Amino acid sequence: MKNFYPKDNTPGCTKQACGFSERYPQFTEKGAVIIGVSKDSVASHKRFEEKYGLAFTLLADSERKVIEAYDVWKEKKNYGKVSMGVVRTTYLIDEQGIIIKVNDKVKVADDPEKMLKEIE
C-alpha cells in the first residue's frame, strides 16, 4: 500500500500516519506493507518517524518521481490559495503490482481503517 501525503509533521498528515501506525500489526497480519510517500527530505522523515514512533517506511521523494508517476502532484486550493502539491491519496496494490483500490477522497480520521477493511 502506498499512502501519498502532503507534508511531515502537519496536523492532518500526522493524524493519518499515526492511524496507520496504530493499525500496523493488523496490516502486517494480512500481509500488507505500508509505504508513506511525500516530497519531504530523508531528515524530515526521520524526525517524523521518531517523534511519533511510526512503524512503517517513509519514502522521501523530493524530486517527485514517484509522486508524479502516481499522478498525485496536482493543483490544490487551500484557504483560497491555489498551488501545486501532493493530493492526499492511498493506493492498495496487490503482490503483482496491480492497483486494486484508490482512495483519493481521503478523510484522515478514517483512511487507515477504511484501507484495512479493503485488504482481504
- Supply the residues annotated as catalytic: 13
Q: How many CA atoms lie within 13 A of 32 on its CB side?
A: 26
* Residue that has been written with the C-alpha cell 492532518 in this structure: 12
What DSSP character marks residue 107?
-
Beginning with the edge strand found earlier in the chain, give each strand of the sheet holding 99-103 in spatial order. Answer: 57-60, 35-38, 2-4, 89-93, 99-103
Helices (H), 1-120: 11-22, 24-29, 42-52, 65-69, 111-118
Alpha-carbon distance of 33 to 35, in angstroms, equals 7
